[in-house]
Structure 1
Amino acid sequence: MKRSFSFSDINRLIDDYRKAEQRQREISEVGEYESEVRKAAVRYVDSEAMAMMEDIAVEELNRDKKGIRVKALRDHGYNNYADILTARDYDLSAVRGISEDTAYKIMKCVEDVYGQAKESVRLKLNADDRSVSATRIVTALSRYHEACKLASDCEGLDDKYRESISRDMDDIKPATGLFRWLFSSGTRKQRAEDAYQSLTETIQGEYGLQLGKLSDRRRNLKFYSESDAWDDFQKQPVKYNNTVEKLVPGLLDNGDSMYGLPKELAGKIQDEDFFPDGLRCELRRYQELGVKYILHQGRVLLGDEMGLGKTVQAIASMVSLRNTGSTHFVVVCPASVMINWCREIERFSLLSVIKVHGTTKQAAIREWLDKGGVAVTTYETTSAFSLPDDFRFGMLVVDEAHYIKNPSARRSVSVKKLSEHADRMLFMTGTPIENNVDEMIRLISILQPKIARKVSNIKALSFASQFREKIAPVYYRRKREDVLTELPELVESREWCRLGKVEREAYEQAVLKKSYNDARRVSWSVDDLKYSSKAGRMMEIIADAKADGRKVIVFSYFRDTISKISEMLGSQCTEPINGSVTPAKRQEIIDGFDKAPAGQVLVSQIVAGGTGLNIQSASVVIICEPQLKPSIESQAISRAYRMGQARNVLVYRLLASNTVDERVTDLLEEKQTVFDAFADKSVAAQKVEVDRKTFGNIIQEEIDRINGERKSKVKA
């Protein structure tokens, strides 16, 4: 049989593949980038610790009256501990009055303090504070992430071609030498011929092309820009912080990997399986631990502080249960956050959602029983659930669980009856209920009666470690300072509200009249705010803030809205700030607000109070309606989210679903996405805002929708 190749052709081809294998191994190796992150972390710690040393005056050496001549040290340029650290023993002993023995003691003292400082350093990444050491870490993390992505892509390429290449390499062996070829059968020679053609096409074709691109990307990693790294960090800070926790344990947190759980219980929970397939977000380490706690303990009360993601932990728990066979779940929550729950479930998971509320509740329950998914309902509607005696569902989630603290209340009875069908129960509340031990015990008694009976006898020790250890199997609470030492300092959320009948009528009337301002004041335009769903949600947020020791700023574009809110809050709020308030008066109002207790509210027109004021004493910001220029919102938020702010700032945007709020929000999001896509190409001429003409188009769309719905009702 005549060959279409020479033996040297075969050997070159095999050599090309061996080189390709080597390139694959190099691309799949991420160890050097792990090492780069760790080295950057060490340099960050050294830099931060040295900065602390610069703040310690040399006079501190004599704090214990050791008789060290610190004046002589200062006269020789040793002003602080950092100066001493960079010196040598014989440099110090050269100072008049400092012996060799004293120099050694000084150096030992300062090095001990430096060591303690390094142990205390915690990483705080902030895109507004791009120090050299922080930039080095962010860049190293970006390179590591890209290296991992390349390794994953390379593995995918290998999976695609491994079987065919392995077969070809085996079939081509008879063609690797003259004697092998001569003593091979015709069939093996034909297979070798086919393998040569196939392997050539593979290496010179798509496989080789893709491998070449991966190699180029790998080489370009060393040129990864710092600005690109920071941009990527801002898009996915959770990923960066999770990577730090993985590669440099302890750099972000206080070293308590179990966040306060007793050792024996912590070990069991750590070993609990969690199956996240279908979860559309990345959990922080403390959140994953919370999910494992929920899954392992079965019936628990999660009391994490505001802003730590209790909702996401609940969703992740349901996702994991769904992956292990559960099909039905129920979420019970206040009516004001029902829409928010539905949106969060759809946003963060692949779970289906069914609203059980209003006149269609019975049909919704039947649909849920038939199809499964998450039934989201209100406390009042739980009484409508009449389930078969033998019916079981995976988990009952009860948000704001303190709503059922009174066991004889109608809603408490209904929720408890519904819970009898649940395999697992998760109560949630951000309110520190340990401040009211009787209330806590009543909730625990629904979840785990045995534990409730045990702790009832030691209520007087409610703040002692003995009490906390006994309730640990059922009550778990983390504080922000314990789990978010690295930030984020700004936690933003959209609070979707469902309009009631009175609000809906007022809104539709404004839209049909093309009254732009009244339409934008959706939910706030009612004469009495007791009919306002946004006002109801705002009051809940303010109550939670007060319980959490926080103060609140409420912003609205409209003076009328601010006046109504001020009247409703009464003494709980300051004098409102609007455009007619003089700068001096504004500062007087803010000074009074700064001195006020937790729960106090400052209300302001966003264009009046959104610039030029420092309001660090507030850490909760409520924005009453979406602004047509998002930059106005950013400026307003920055009044509280600025240097000197001691707490994470929580921003709540009050939005009404199926109104101009939703249209404006979606449109601005689309504009921002387009802007971001071109930002790297310096197309800065685009402005992210909704102008009057565009808003007019939104109003017209709403008019068409409202008229269409009304015609449909008439026909029905």
Structure 2
Amino acid sequence: KRSRTLYEGLKGLEKSKKRLPKLKAKMRSYQEYGYRWLQYLYDNKMGGCLADDMGLGKTLQSIALLAKIIPKATKPILVVLPKSLLYNWQKELQKFSPEIEFTLYYGVERDFEAAMKFSLILTSYAMVRNDIEQFQKVKFDTVILDESQAIKNYNAQTTKAVLLLQAEHRFALSGTPIENSLSELFVLFKFLNPSMFYSAQDFNKHYLTPIQKEGNKEAMEELRRKIYPFILRRSKSEVAKDLPEKIEQVLYVEMGEEQAKFYEARRVFYEEAIAAQVGQHGIEKSQFFILQALSELRQIASNPEAKSEEMIHSSKREAMMESVYEAVSNNHKVLIFTNFLNALEQITTDLEKLDIGFVTMSGATSNRQVLVDKFQNDPECKVFAMTLKVGGVGLNLTAADVVYIHDPWWNKAAENQAIDRTHRIGQKNRVMAYKLISKNSIEEKILQLQEQKSEIFENLIGGDSASVKSLQEDDIAFLLGN
């Protein structure tokens, strides 16, 4: 009887007249529905997974729910996400609902008791796993898992920790709720609605084995009916009329501890060395040294392996690869642009490890049209990775609809040109473009200079050196400053 009532209530959501929470954003019609769906499940004490395609605003729909429930909630609300998304959530909250007070629970100096005094806490899966003894004692109003595929393995320590969290309401966000096996669906619902499936053995007997091993359509239909009210998924093509032709998003990633230390040591070195060099020889005669300094800091921020003998790991590339994997899993084709050959090599190594079909192109590549044709026409070739200067002009790559700018270029126009390899006549889908930025690094400064100096950089067609020549002493101090 309850499930019938739930179905009937869901049918009425399209015509719902319930007021939307106040946000500094105009929600699209499908996002309004997504918010109402989340709120309906919340009101009925049921969990759900918002499984929209990437780029459709799962975070915004979740923030709308938070804006609605936080004023009345008497217990804290916890959002658990990959550490690479912590700062994006922070920025989205500040942008769309600045009145929500929240804290980041993360890092070596984290204070659990202080964090729990906030109505909203953002934390990472690693923090929940490490501090589960404290977390499991708290009764949360709501727990939201972003990129919930992080708990797909039932026996993993992270999954075990997350399943110990106590909450009246539970939600998950994921563009890929099932990546490899139906067993991942069982784990997801063990979190969302724990009593829905009796046990893993029972789920395997009634659903996993009949569906995956025997192709049983009746079992598939029964499972589909059972989970239907609790998973909401819209693809880009379904909501295309509501979307702009191109969506651009900046993804901020925190450098790892070793990477941040290495970066800071080199930044301090170059800050002092350039001040001495410019003081002695003037800015004109210091161009080469300045260029060397800026180039090295940019590489450490995005691809520290290139400059470190200890092979320091790149947090940013890890975050990008997680996103690329999600895109490819959802049948998108992807372009990746970088300014550095060594970064391109690392990216192709990562793609090989993930068993993703790809082609790659740099200045030394001669058979370019062959590669373009392969990418455009071969369904197994999912990713085209290339240097910005080579791939940014003259190519028609409309098979792709997701673009990653791995590291920023001084000249924003060059990045736009790269994105427009796919956003052009012949493109049938909406294009999603991500620009990855290492937090607290020269990359953030470049982003600011792109906006401030756009009138200077916009017309630059030369390389780094041409861009550097247009920088003043105060710009260089800004780029190298803490």
TM-score range, shorter chain: 0.7 to 0.9
One-letter amino acid of the structure 2 residue matched with residue 381 of structure 1: M
What does residue 526 of structure 1 align with?
305
8 Å contact from structure 2 (residues 170, 191) kept in 1: no
What does residue 470 of structure 1 align with?
226
One-letter amino acid of the structure 1 residue matched with residue 172 of structure 2: F
8 Å contact from structure 1 (residues 618, 640) kept in 2: yes
Deviations 1:533-560 (A, max 9, x none): 1110121012111211122211112233
Q: 1:502 aligns with which of 246, 258, 264?
A: 258
Q: 2:420 aligns with which of 623, 638, 642?
A: 638
One-letter amino acid of the structure 2 residue matched with residue 488 of structure 1: P
8 Å contact from structure 1 (residues 574, 589) kept in 2: no
**Distance in structure 1 (CA, Å) of the matches to 2:181 and 2:89:** 27
**Distance in structure 2 (CA, Å) of the matches to 1:497 and 1:562:** 19
What does residue 379 of structure 2 align with?
597
Q: Compared with structure 1, are the counterparts of its residues 265 and 354 closer, same or farther at alpha carbon in structure 2 (3 Å cutoff)?
A: same
**Distance in structure 2 (CA, Å) of the matches to 1:652 and 1:603:** 14
Displacement of 1:271 = 4.1
Q: Which is helix-richer, 1 or 2?
A: 1
What does residue 488 of structure 1 align with?
244
Q: 1:663 aligns with which of 427, 435, 445?
A: 445
Q: Compared with structure 1, are the counterparts of its residues 337 and 622 closer, same or farther at alpha carbon in structure 2 (3 Å cutoff)?
A: same
One-letter amino acid of the structure 1 residue matched with residue 142 of structure 2: M
Q: 2:53 aligns with which of 302, 305, 326?
A: 305
The equivalences for 1:125-140 within 5 A come to none
Q: Which has the larger radius of gyration?
A: 1
- Structure 2 residue 108 is the aligned partner of structure 1 residue 359: yes
What does residue 477 of structure 2 align with?
700
What does residue 183 of structure 2 align with?
438
Deviations 1:336-380 (A, max 9, x none): 22222222222221222311112122x1x322222x142111111
Q: Compared with structure 1, are the counterparts of its residues 631 and 499 closer, same or farther at alpha carbon in structure 2 (3 Å cutoff)?
A: same
**Distance in structure 2 (CA, Å) of the matches to 1:646 and 1:579:** 29
What does residue 581 of structure 1 align with?
365
What does residue 424 of structure 1 align with?
169
Q: Compared with structure 1, are the counterparts of its residues 503 and 435 closer, same or farther at alpha carbon in structure 2 (3 Å cutoff)?
A: closer
Displacement of 1:523 = 2.5
Q: 1:285 aligns with which of 15, 29, 35?
A: 29
**Identical columns (%):** 27
What does residue 280 of structure 2 align with?
none
Which consecutive unaligned segments of at least 5 residues does structure 1 have?
A: 1-260, 676-684, 706-716
The equivalences for 1:447-462 within 5 A come to 447-453=192-198, 456=203, 457=206, 460-461=216-217
Q: 2:402 aligns with which of 615, 620, 624?
A: 620
Q: Compared with structure 1, are the counterparts of its residues 530 and 508 closer, same or farther at alpha carbon in structure 2 (3 Å cutoff)?
A: closer
What does residue 392 of structure 1 align with?
139
Displacement of 1:504 = 2.0
**Distance in structure 2 (CA, Å) of the matches to 1:688 and 1:314:** 40
Q: 2:294 aligns with which of 490, 494, 516?
A: 516
The equivalences for 1:124-273 within 5 A come to 264-267=9-12, 271=16, 273=18
Q: Compared with structure 1, are the counterparts of its residues 576 and 479 closer, same or farther at alpha carbon in structure 2 (3 Å cutoff)?
A: closer
**Distance in structure 2 (CA, Å) of the matches to 1:307 and 1:315:** 15
Is the partner of 2:35 in helix, strand or coil?
A: helix
Deviations 1:575-621 (A, max 9, x none): 53222334xx1111112222433563211111111110011112211
Q: Compared with structure 1, are the counterparts of its residues 486 and 446 closer, same or farther at alpha carbon in structure 2 (3 Å cutoff)?
A: closer
Displacement of 1:507 = 2.5
**Distance in structure 1 (CA, Å) of the matches to 2:241 and 2:219:** 24
8 Å contact from structure 1 (residues 274, 320) kept in 2: no
8 Å contact from structure 1 (residues 497, 534) kept in 2: yes
What does residue 215 of structure 1 align with?
none
Is the partner of 1:646 in helix, strand or coil?
A: coil
Give the length in aligned residue pairs: 426
TM-score (norm 1): 0.55
Is the partner of 2:191 in helix, strand or coil?
A: helix
**Distance in structure 2 (CA, Å) of the matches to 1:389 and 1:509:** 39
The equivalences for 1:45-124 within 5 A come to none
**Distance in structure 2 (CA, Å) of the matches to 1:318 and 1:516:** 41
What does residue 22 of structure 1 align with?
none
Q: Compared with structure 1, are the counterparts of its residues 427 and 530 closer, same or farther at alpha carbon in structure 2 (3 Å cutoff)?
A: farther
One-letter amino acid of the structure 2 residue matched with residue 352 of structure 1: E
Is the partner of 1:323 in helix, strand or coil?
A: coil
**Distance in structure 2 (CA, Å) of the matches to 1:434 and 1:523:** 28
Is the partner of 1:343 in helix, strand or coil?
A: helix
Q: Which is strand-richer, 1 or 2?
A: 2
**Distance in structure 1 (CA, Å) of the matches to 2:416 and 2:219:** 40
TM-score (norm 2): 0.79
One-letter amino acid of the structure 2 residue matched with residue 620 of structure 1: V
What does residue 347 of structure 1 align with?
95
- Structure 2 residue 84 is the aligned partner of structure 1 residue 336: yes
**Distance in structure 1 (CA, Å) of the matches to 2:32 and 2:450:** 32
Displacement of 1:622 = 0.8
What does residue 148 of structure 1 align with?
none
Deviations 1:503-530 (A, max 9, x none): 2244234433351111222221324777
Is the partner of 1:451 in helix, strand or coil?
A: coil
Q: Compared with structure 1, are the counterparts of its residues 695 and 509 closer, same or farther at alpha carbon in structure 2 (3 Å cutoff)?
A: farther
8 Å contact from structure 1 (residues 563, 576) kept in 2: no
